[in-house]
Chains A and B, each alone.
Chain A
Amino acid sequence: MKRLLKYFKKIEPDKTKNPFWFSLWESIFTFLFVPDVETSGTGTHIKDKMDLKRLMIFVVLGLVPAYIFGIYNIGHQHFLALGQYTGFWEGWNLKFAHGLIKLVPILVVTMVVGLGWEIYFASKKKKGVEEGFFVSGFLIPLLMPPDIPLWILVIAVTFAVVLGKEVFGGTGMNIWNVALLARVFIFFAYPLSISGDNVWVSGFDNIIAGIHPDYGWWHSGFFNTIFDWFGLDKFDSHMAIVDGFSGATPLAIAKDGGWDAVTQAFSTHDLLWGTIPGSIGETSKPLLILGGLLILLTGIADWRITISAVIGIIFSGLLFNLWGATPLMTIPWYYQFYLGGALLAIIFMATDPVTAASTFKGKWIYGFLIGVLGMLIRVINPAYPEGWMLAILFMNSFAPLIDHYIISNHIKKRLKSE
């Protein structure tokens, strides 16, 4: 490590001549080494071991279970469409390989584009590269359908980072959750690539019976060669989509057919553990809760928001059950958690401290309203049966207002008691 430190100090670029390379160098250097900076002496002489890097990495650690399952499920859905390897462990090597082929480019593109912009703005501001995008960059792939065209991703990430964050002053100053901005951009600008029945199962041009999978060099060249050495099953492009496979998400089915139609297509076991079509990271509920516990128990995410959002979902779920006018309304309230991206949203995105309400009371209100609004959009919206992205962005906009009223009250109380 000492030699590495020496080497890194030797290659330090000039800050004024090459600000971009300096910022890039600094972000890597401070990732490898906590700098030798001492407290200034105008404040506390000692500081907590905790810093933003650690805070951010814990959120990413919380996402790891969802990532592992997401990779598997991309492949699993692919083979379900082909009617092959329908058991959980059958063809595991093919499922993971296919998942990696789909997910790695999404993650790499998101990171390169997002961090590139971050480093560029850091060099302009002459400040250290902020860690904020680290989390956004890990969240964005989880919100995407596996077949998202990469060029759309480039535009979306650029939009989210530049117009959603940097124009407001960078990490800590943004109003809307960056990861959701990337998703909402695609949703409105390129709706066909992120909604409908065709996008959630990857590896096909179209979800029609008889269509063959679309394998490239990574499938038939790279992985098939490796699998050949170990005598494992190989990708076979002669397979075709089986009759009756629709690729629709459970929510899309529920919209017209209610819970009965959902349980005809999927078992509740599938819905819970997540072997269903959907965005990459949203499907497995137990694994999201597992990762969520890590960030909720360590205090990284505020439990008040998640708990109040759960209350909001249950509350509106019960109301809809009483109303019961459409198939979606009749879904038992507890099964609402089995559908769509509710858990991913309320554990990992509603709790973003920068865009959430900042007072304790405000967090209760904010979380509850996200729960209610998300359900409202999911159930009432005629066009698109999922609401978390819009609910959170909407409440992001109102979080400052909630805080404003709570703080104004606090100020009034103090001035009154004179």
Chain B
Amino acid sequence: MLGANKKPTYVGSNKIIFLKRGFNINIKGKANETFIEEAIIENFAVQPGNFRGVVPIPKVVVNSGDKVKAGDLLFYDKKRPELKFVSPVSGTVKAINRGLRRSIKEIVVTKGEKMEYKKFDSPDLNSVSREDLVDFMLESGVWPLIKQRPYDLVPDKNDIPKNIFISTFDTAPLAPDYNFIIKGKEDIFQKGLDVLTKLTEGKVFLGLDANRKEAPSDVFTKANGVEKTYFKGPHPSGNVGIQIHHLAPIRGTNKVWTLGIQEVLTIGNLFLNNIYDASRIIAIVGEDVETPGYINTYLGADIAESVRVCLKDTKCRVISGNVLTGETKEYGEFVNAFDYLISVIPKGNYFESFGWFIPQKSRPTFSKTFLSRWINPGKTYSVDTNTHGQERAFVATGIYKEVLPMDIYPVHLMKAILAGDIERMEGLGINEVAEEDIALCEFICPSKQEFQAILRDGHRMMIEQG
């Protein structure tokens, strides 16, 4: 790529890391910088399954019909009772839905006309001890918004993270623009960062986007008390895991924390305004969306209500998250807790004659056997859920590393997991890799292997081993 190693002027004297390997999947249906006003969402849910490391059947303290305020306790973990989960909105508890083997799938709250917030008494950051601060965050329900790497677990209250990492951009297909989401929230964001710096023995790292023509939002570039690093390169350069790998990699039993920017805002709001504000700006994107754009809502929004007003076609797949890592959602299900994106793509249940040789529809591809990779690399494509081929054993070897900007051997790691060899998995760096980081390997795989499912299994084995 021409000019790939050119430093944008706005980077100035800040540190910049160039990542050559990776691939941007350009898809039709990117969000415009406008709000879809007509979307009226009444139901919100907290899904215990979204928080890794929480028991499948937590203790629910509300009954359906109870009135709750935003910030009121809904349930807590049975193994670690200090982990408390609170309501994102005020209103009435509508249902407690159970899933497989009587696990709690979700606690649904119907939002009332006017938002009422539970008042918290947040401590003064300058004088509070770390212990009290942690206790307050547990009590107020913002603690589970933090993810611990490796494995994206809800962190333990006694753990002190080596560092905390926040990526301020997303390079995934049709990703929302974080600069749009953060607009006008500098005070809240800064407050959130101030809280986080109190929690780590190391630094709070902020990953900034150097792929844009203009500089990222001032909210990010002018943040104080944090270590800022620019990243330039194709997807997955925006993944926090890739950034950790290049800034201060996870080694041995080290633990680090990561947060999304809107989770930082929730923490900031708690300390600035003494409320649990779980408001989220979520992008609705995809070719099957009438006018792709953003909605102003809260954590765990009803997905059908979110997309109802803007769907072109009902024969599509609705995904909470992006098309590489997201989860398929059916009618009556809810946006996952950490997602800022709803992707809608057409279903791909069609036969294509000689499609493997002469494709009838142009589709995104990493393979140089297609002319489009040579003559028009920037083209945006339609996509669908067809697998474009059948699953086979691993054959190709070199290509996976070309989309993974880490010092990792992805195929060897996958094979170690399939063989259940814990020691080898560890040596090959399973603790550094998150599912989203190898999603591109899965996308380009000509053998159609499920990298993310295999890695998930490996993480499960690692957690069980302790």
Contacts and interface: CB of A to CB of B under 8 A. Distances in A.
Contacts of B448: 47, 51
A358 B412 contact: yes
B386 to A, nearest CB: 6
B452 interface: yes
Contacts of A298: 367-369
B200 interface: no
B447 A172 contact: yes
A264 B419 CA distance: 59
Interface residues of A, number: 61
Contacts of A149: none
Given A48-B365, A57-B357, A36 B389 contact: no
Interface of A: 1, 4-5, 30, 32-55, 57-58, 128, 130-132, 169-173, 297-300, 302, 304, 353-354, 356, 358-360, 363, 403, 407, 410-412, 414-415, 417-418
A53 B447 CA distance: 9
B324 interface: yes
Contacts of B252: 418
Nearest to B389: A51
Chain A to chain B: the 3 pairs with minimum beta-carbon distance, closest first: A51-B389, A172-B393, A411-B427
A45 B392 contact: no
Contacts of A32: 353-354
Contact of B395 (A41, A128, A132, A169): A132
A171 B446 CA distance: 14
Contacts of B385: 38-39, 45-46
B351 A35 contact: yes
Interface string B425-466: 001110000000001001111111011110000000000000
A307 to B, nearest CB: 13
Given A44-B323, A52-B447, A172-B392, 15 more contacts: A35-B387, A36-B386, A37-B387, A43-B442, A45-B324, A45-B345, A46-B384, A48-B363, A49-B364, A50-B366, A55-B369, A55-B395, A358-B397, A359-B409, A407-B428
B325 A50 contact: no
A96 B392 CA distance: 38
A302 B451 CA distance: 22
Given A33-B355, A34-B355, A42-B453, A52 B395 contact: yes
21 contacts: A32-B354, A33-B355, A37-B387, A38-B386, A45-B385, A47-B386, A48-B363, A48-B367, A48-B388, A50-B365, A50-B388, A50-B444, A53-B357, A57-B357, A58-B369, A299-B367, A360-B401, A363-B398, A410-B427, A411-B428, A414-B428
B393 A173 contact: yes
A53 B356 CA distance: 6
Tell which of A30, A47, A358, A417 has the most Cβ of chain B within 10 Å: A47
A380 B429 CA distance: 45
Given A32-B354, A43-B453, A54 B393 contact: no
A417 B357 CA distance: 47
Interface of B: 25, 27, 173, 249, 251-252, 317, 319, 323-328, 343, 345, 347-357, 359, 363-370, 383-399, 401, 407, 409, 411-412, 424, 427-429, 439, 442-448, 450-453
Tell which of A297, A304, A358 has the most Cβ of chain B within 10 Å: A358
A191 to B, nearest CB: 33
Nearest to B391: A128
A39 B387 contact: yes
B319 to A, nearest CB: 6
Contacts of A45: 317, 319, 323-324, 326, 328, 343, 345, 385
B324 A46 contact: yes
Given A45-B326, A49-B364, A34 B356 contact: yes
A43 B450 contact: yes
A169 B370 CA distance: 31
B114 to A, nearest CB: 38
Nearest to B173: A46
A46 B353 contact: no
A132 B395 CA distance: 9
Interface of A is mostly: loop
A290 B216 CA distance: 47
Contacts of B439: 43-44
A42 B452 contact: yes
Contacts of A50: 365-367, 369-370, 388-389, 444, 446
Contact of A51 (B325, B390, B452): B390
A319 B411 CA distance: 38
B443 A44 contact: yes
A37 B355 CA distance: 13
B354 A130 contact: no
Contact of B390 (A46, A128, A299, A358): A128
Given A52-B447, A53-B357, A37 B428 contact: no
A5 B367 CA distance: 28
Given A172-B447, A414-B251, A44 B364 contact: no
Tell which of A4, A36, A170, A171 has the most Cβ of chain B within 10 Å: A36
Contact of B353 (A1, A130, A417): A1
A46 B351 contact: no
Tell which of A1, A45, A414, A415 has the most Cβ of chain B within 10 Å: A45
A353 B396 contact: yes
A403 B415 CA distance: 13
Contacts of B390: 30, 35, 37, 51, 128
A4 to B, nearest CB: 8
A363 B443 CA distance: 24
Nearest to A40: B450
Contacts of A1: 353
A416 to B, nearest CB: 9
A52 B325 CA distance: 23
Given A37-B386, A299-B399, A411-B424, A46 B443 contact: yes
A38 B452 contact: no
A352 B323 CA distance: 32
A412 B424 CA distance: 11
Contacts of A34: 351-356, 386, 388-389
A131 B367 contact: no
Nearest to B353: A1
Contacts of A359: 409, 412
Contacts of B365: 48-50
Contacts of A30: 390
Nearest to A294: B369
B170 to A, nearest CB: 16
Contact of A47 (B325, B370, B387, B428): B387
Contacts of B369: 50, 54-55, 58, 298-300
B394 to A, nearest CB: 5
A51 B443 CA distance: 11
Given A53-B356, A57-B356, A415-B427, A48 B450 contact: no
Given A35-B390, A37-B386, A172-B447, A297 B368 contact: yes
